[in-house]
């Protein structure tokens, strides 16, 4: 490390298990962070401040006012203008002025994008609140021998699981199939407090530093349950299952099926539907057409926002559209066809 970097990370390298060799390993590492809202924001902060060499952030959402109590990277201004979370996170993290290279992708993580971004990653971190995405990442992790760290939070606590291919259980060893929609509590139904987010994300970040600094040889993967309200901690040892569909039988159905994703999906608890494009839209052409129709259009960085038929639309450069004010995918697709184009 250069002298300036040695000074910056001096107290971190004095931690004996890390040391200067571990710090150099962090500087040489690359992380894919999936989701940069509540968990992802805390994760990104710790990794950037720790000196991880490269972080690729993927998030499909925009900042809203309800995010501000627990999503530490965002400001009221981000919420007012509806900034893409990935881009807002990159801009805030850049102000740390550390050595980390930060790439932001305001996009939906499908199999194709995961294959492209995952190829460079030494570790994948779960900052999402979407179970389908987690099963997709789990498939990729086992298929490509890339470790990942699951994290989930709701109410006052949550779960953490490091998945180290070949060394312990994967997500499907514990939860063989995704739970049916509506069967698990969510932040919208059970609420969530900020300290719970920080607790779960910090546990994930600590494990991430251990893995990236090459200190994971004696790490025994376990499902850890923590609660910020009661102070309880439980380590749940779960063996790897030989009959696990993913790491046992080597079936990667979520990764293989990701190219045939649904055209529209309702976002949990958001009264919003994400509509996937049939073809990539030309944002300047859409903007011009909407203005000709008398619709007021706002450009927010690389995306467009407008209101029509009592709904708010957010159009991304990859062609995705978020339609707020409905949970009906069919209606959302009709609205997008009308105002954006089929």
The predicted pLDDT at position 31 comes to: 98
- Say what the pLDDT of residue 159 is: 97
Domain 3-258 maps to which CATH number in 3.40.462.40, 3.40.50.720, 2.30.29.30, 3.30.479.30?
Answer: 3.40.50.720
The pLDDT assigned to 44 comes to 98
Provide φ and ψ at 283, rounded to 5°.
Answer: -60, -45
Question: 115: buried, middle or exposed (CB in 10 Å: 19+, 13-18, 0-12)?
Answer: middle
Return the pLDDT at 261: 47
Q: What's the CATH number for 262-339?
A: 3.30.310.10
Q: Residue range 92-120: average pLDDT?
A: 95
Q: Are strands 148-154 and 157-163 parallel, antiparallel or unpaired?
A: antiparallel
For residue 328, how far is the Cα from the chain centroid?
24
- Dihedrals φ, ψ of 54, to 5°? -145, 135
d(CA 253, CA 29): 29
List, for residues 133-158, the tens digit of each pLDDT value.
999 999 999 999 999 999 999 999 99
For the chain, the domains span: 3-258, 262-339
Which residue's entry shows tokens 């184009």? 341
Q: d(Cα 273, Cα 323) in Å, to the nearest integer?
A: 5
Q: Would you say residue 182 has pLDDT above 60?
A: no
Residues 6+ apart with CB under 8 A from 9: 1, 23, 50, 51
Query: 1 pLDDT band (50/70/90 cuts)?
Result: low
Query: CB neighbours of 312 closer than 8 A, spacing ≥ 6?
Result: 305, 306, 323, 324, 325
Give the full edge-to-edge strand order of the sheet including 297-300.
Answer: 264-267, 272-275, 321-324, 311-315, 303-308, 297-300
In the chain, beta strands by DSSP E: 30-34, 54-58, 101-105, 123-126, 148-154, 157-163, 223-227, 233-236, 264-267, 272-275, 297-300, 303-308, 311-315, 321-324
pTM passes above 0.75:
yes
CA end-to-end span of the chain, whole Å?
52
> Once rounded to an integer, what is the mean pLDDT over residues 291-317?
90
The model's pLDDT over 43-55, given as tens digits with 9 standing for 90+, comes to 999 999 999 999 9
Query: What average pLDDT does the segment 280-299 reach?
Result: 86
- Least reliable range by pLDDT among 141-145, 258-262, 306-310: 258-262
- Residue 271 vs residue 182, higher pLDDT: 271
Q: Across all residues in the chain, what is the average pLDDT?
A: 91
In what order do the strands lie in the sheet containing 148-154? 101-105, 54-58, 30-34, 123-126, 148-154, 157-163, 223-227, 233-236
Q: Which two tokens stand for residue 175?
A: 């939860």
User: 88-103 burial by CB neighbour count: b if 16+ within 10 A, else e?
Assistant: bbbebbeeeebbbebe
């Amino acid at each position: 490390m250069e002298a300036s970097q040695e000074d910056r990370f001096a107290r971190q390298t004095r931690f004996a298990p890390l040391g200067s060799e571990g710090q150099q390993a962090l500087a040489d590492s690359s992380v894919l962070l999936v989701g940069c809202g509540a968990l992802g924001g805390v994760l990104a902060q710790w990794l950037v401040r720790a000196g991880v060499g490269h972080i690729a952030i993927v998030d499909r959402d925009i900042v809203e006012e309800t995010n501000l109590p627990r999503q530490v990277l965002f400001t009221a201004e981000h919420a007012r203008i509806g900034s893409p979370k990935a881009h807002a996170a990159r801009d805030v993290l850049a102000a740390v002025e550390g050595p980390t290279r930060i790439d932001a992708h305001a996009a939906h993580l499908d199999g194709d994008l995961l294959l492209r971004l995952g190829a460079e990653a030494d570790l994948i971190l779960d900052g999402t609140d979407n179970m389908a995405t987690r099963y997709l990442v789990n498939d990729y992790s086992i298929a490509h021998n890339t470790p990942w760290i699951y994290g989930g939070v709701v109410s006052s606590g949550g779960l953490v699981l490091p998945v180290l291919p070949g060394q312990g259980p994967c997500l499907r060893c514990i939860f063989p199939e995704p739970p049916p929609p509506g069967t698990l509590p969510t932040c919208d139904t059970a609420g969530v407090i900020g300290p719970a987010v920080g607790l779960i994300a910090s546990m994930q970040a600590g494990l991430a530093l251990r893995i990236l600094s090459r200190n994971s040889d004696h790490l025994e993967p376990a499902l850890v349950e923590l609660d910020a309200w009661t102070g309880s901690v439980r380590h749940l040892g779960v063996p790897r299952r030989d009959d696990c569909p993913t790491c046992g039988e080597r079936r990667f159905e979520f990764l293989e099926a990701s190219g045939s994703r649904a055209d529209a999906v309702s976002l949990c608890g958001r009264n919003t539907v994400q509509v996937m494009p049939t073809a990539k839209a030309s944002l300047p052409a859409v903007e011009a057409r909407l203005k000709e129709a008398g619709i007021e259009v706002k450009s927010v960085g690389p995306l467009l926002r407008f209101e029509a038929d009592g709904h708010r639309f957010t159009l991304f450069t990859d062609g995705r559209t978020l339609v707020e004010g409905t949970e009906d995918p069919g209606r959302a697709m009709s609205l997008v066809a009308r105002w954006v184009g089929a």
